[in-house]
Amino acid sequence: MPDSLRVLVVHGPNLNLLGTREPEIYGETTLPEIDDRLASEAKEWGAEVETFQSNHEGALVDRIQDASGWADGILINAGALTHTSVALRDVLAATDLPVVEVHLSNVHARESFRHHSYLSAVATGVIVGFGPDSYVLGLRGLLDSLTRG
């Protein structure tokens, strides 16, 4: 019996504020609630998730570097760093793990500076605009592609 699949879930800056500020943009669901949904979804697949949130770019880079030692894939909402961070793109590419990028909001329907992502080119897939469901859909896509090989 092979080990169960393991996914690192990465949340970038300010996502710890979800459900507490600007509910008109980001909704009322909190980050712990999203993490609980992801843990339940993973369990249905016989998989496991480990979640990590940081407001610091370097801490996110460190955690992603570490993931290449144990994770099978990465699900990431890098928040505003999506639109600025070459360092996150480089570390995601360096892990050689499949990456799914997700966003709560439809970034393409918002300000033009949110239309470009440094991460999308190194991602297997991208899901935007479905609120907290973006994470669940992204996890399903990642686990499905890992399961099918």
Catalytic positions, written as ranges: 26, 103
Alpha-carbon distances of 90 from 18, 52, 62, 143, rounded to whole Å: 27, 19, 12, 23
Footprint of ligand CA2 on 25-64 (CB under 6 A): 26
- Interaction between residue 17 and ligand CA2 (CB under 6 A): yes
What stretch of H or E contains 112? none
- Interaction between residue 114 and ligand CA2 (CB under 6 A): yes
Cβ proximity to ligand CA2, 5 vs 10, nearer residue: 10
- The interface region with ligand CA2, picked from 18-26, 44-52, 88-96, 140-148 by CB under 6 A, is 18-26
Question: Within the chain, how many helices (H) and strands (E) appear?
Answer: 5, 5
Q: How big is the chain, counted in residues?
A: 149
Can you give the binding site for ligand CA2, defined by CB under 6 A?
14-15, 17-18, 21-22, 26, 77, 79-80, 82, 103-105, 107, 114
